[in-house]
Amino acid sequence: MKLPKGFLFDFDGVVVDSFISHYSAWTSAFKELFDKEIAPFPKSYAGKSPMIIANYFCSVIGKVNKAEELFFLKDKHLDIYFTKPKILPGVLDITNFLSDKNIKYGIASNATKLFLKNSIQQLNLNFPIVFGVQDYKKPKPAPEAYITLAKALGFTKKDFNNIWVFEDSLTGTHAANLAGMIPIGILTQYSKEELKAAGSQFVFPTLLEAYQYLKSIKQ
């Protein structure tokens, strides 16, 4: 077995634990806009675009017409009250490994570009190409995010079936499948069975175990 040609990464739940960063920004923005407490975050919305999440929170109080306003305010709070996310195990190991092997990799996330930029800078991460939700017309679960990233890395469609995509959400797993790539599940929030059912070909607890597996492949 050879190493895949390329590796694409989701960000939230794969590279970092950013739930507190995002939910605290949603909470403070919602409070400022409506003077109300926000609803609990539904697990089924993990990995979805911020606009869809904004629509959900506004729908709970019958204010869907305010979703765009909440979306922009949340992004503003995310920047002003930036809470550094926690880097997850194996991130530096796997990016150093891929760099040493001259294998191309990057991030395609449904998070906003400003949050990605701030997080990567604060955590001193090594990702040469990073795409956020503003870079796509159709965010995940559409395949555009991963197709855009793969092309930016120099891959063509014939390479797609030899590219691994690390995802912790069902939303992103579907996107990788639709792109014709190989979804690899990370056990941040869904079970092995759920990720496998969604199409993940391998499942690892974190990127650390994925790195250890890749390191064991004989070249």
Which structural domain range is residue 60 located in? 19-80
Q: Are 203 and 109 members of one domain?
A: yes
Tokens of 144: 């555009």
pLDDT digits (tens, 9 = 90+) for 75-94: 899 889 888 899 999 999 99
Res 164 pLDDT > 70: yes
Question: What's the rounded Cα separation, in Å, for the pair 78 and 147?
Answer: 27
Q: Are 11 and 29 members of one domain?
A: no
Q: Are 153 and 211 members of one domain?
A: yes
Q: Are 74 and 152 members of one domain?
A: no
Q: Are 122 and 206 members of one domain?
A: yes
Alpha-carbon distances, residue 196 vs 9, 21, 88, 164 (angstroms):
18, 28, 21, 15
pLDDT digits (tens, 9 = 90+) for 119-155: 999 999 999 999 999 999 999 999 999 999 999 999 9
Q: Are 26 and 12 members of one domain?
A: no
Q: Are 91 and 76 members of one domain?
A: no
Alpha-carbon distances, residue 172 vs 150, 197, 219 (angstroms):
15, 13, 29
Residue 1: inside a domain: no
Residue 158: inside a domain: yes
Q: Are 139 and 45 members of one domain?
A: no
Q: Are 189 and 126 members of one domain?
A: yes
